[in-house]
Amino acid sequence: MLEVQNLGFDYGTREILRGIDFGVLPGEVMVVLGPNGVGKSTLLRCINSILKPKKGLVMVQGENLHTLCRDEIAKRLGYVAQRSETGRLTAFDAILLGRKPRIGWSVKARDREVVEETVNALGLEDLALRYIDQLSGGELQKVAIARALVQEPELILLDEPTSNLDLKNQVDILDTIRGIAKAQGISVVLTMHDINMALRYADSFLIIRDGEIYARGGPEIITPDVIETVYGLPVMVESFNGFRLVIPIS
Residue 157 structural domain: 2-82+153-248
Identify whether the C-beta of residue 73 lies closer than 8 Å to the C-beta of residue 52: no
Query: How many other CB atoms are found less than 10 A from the CB of residue 177?
Result: 21
Question: Count of domains in the chain?
Answer: 1
Residue 141 in any domain: the answer is no
Burial degree of 151 (CB within 10 A; 0-12, 13-18, 19+) = buried
What string of DSSP letters covers 156-178?
Answer: EEEESTTTT--HHHHHHHHHHHH
CA atoms within 13 A on the CB side of 185: 3
pLDDT in tens, 148-182: 888 888 899 999 888 878 898 888 889 888 988 99
Instruction: Please tell me the predicted confidence (pLDDT) of residue 190.
Output: 94
pLDDT in tens, 61-120: 888 888 888 878 888 888 888 766 667 789 898 888 888 877 766 778 888 888 898 888
Residue 210 in any domain: the answer is yes
CA separation (Å) from 145 to 34, 109, 199? 23, 21, 21
Element (H, E) at 147: helix 137-149
CATH code: domain of residue 74: 3.40.50.300
pLDDT in tens, 183-228: 889 999 999 999 999 999 999 999 999 989 999 999 999 999 999 9
Residue 68 in any domain: the answer is yes
Identify whether the C-beta of residue 187 lies closer than 8 Å to the C-beta of residue 58: no
Q: Which amino acid is at 112?
A: R
Lowest mean pLDDT among 13-27, 44-58, 81-95, 161-175: 81-95
